[in-house]
Amino acid sequence: MSENFPGQRSSSDSLPVPREWLGSPRLPHLLAALHDRLPREQAIAWEGVLEQAIGPEDPELSRFAFAQPAAGLAEQLGTAIRAWAAECPDLPGAALSLAMKAIGETAHPPLAQPVVSGPVSPSVPARLTSGIALEVIRSASSSLLISSFAARDAEAIIAEITDAARRGVQVDLLLEETTSAARAFVALPSDVRVWHRLSGSGVLHAKLIAADRDTAVLGSANLTDRASTDNIELGIILRDPAVVGPLVDHFRWLISPQAHIMRRSNA
**CATH code assigned at 214:** 3.30.870.10
Domain membership flag for residue 222: yes
Q: 38 pLDDT exceeds 80?
A: no
Final residue of a structural domain among 51, 84, 106 = 106
Least confident stretch, 16-20, 38-42, 50-54? 16-20
Q: What range does the domain containing 130 cover?
A: 112-264
- Same domain (yes/no): 125, 246: yes
5-14, 112-121, 158-167, 206-215: least confident range: 5-14
| pLDDT for res 110 | 76
C-alpha–C-alpha distance, residues 50 and 95, integer Å: 8
Hey, which residues does 224 pair with through a beta bridge?
A: 152
| Band of pLDDT at residue 96, cut at 50, 70 and 90 | very high
Mean pLDDT of 41-45: 84
Residue 33 and residue 44: Cα distance in Å, rounded? 15
Instruction: Check if the beta carbon of residue 126 is closer than 8 Å to that of residue 120.
Output: yes
205 and 93 housed in the same domain = no
Regarding whether 178 and 50 lie in a shared domain, the answer is no
Q: Are residues 143 and 24 in the same domain?
A: no
Judge if 70 and 157 occupy the same domain. Answer: no
Residue 244 vs residue 40, higher pLDDT:
244
Residue where a domain stops, chosen among 50, 83, 106: 106
- Whether 41 is in a domain gets the answer yes
Looking at the predicted structure, is the pLDDT value of residue 84 above 80? yes
Task: Enumerate the H helices of 128-209 as residue ranges.
Answer: 129-139, 155-166
Together in a domain, 69 and 98: yes
* Percentage with pLDDT > 70 across the chain: 87
**pLDDT value for 194:** 97
Q: Is the pLDDT of residue 124 over 80?
A: no
Question: pTM to 2 decimals?
Answer: 0.67
| Number of domains the chain contains | 2
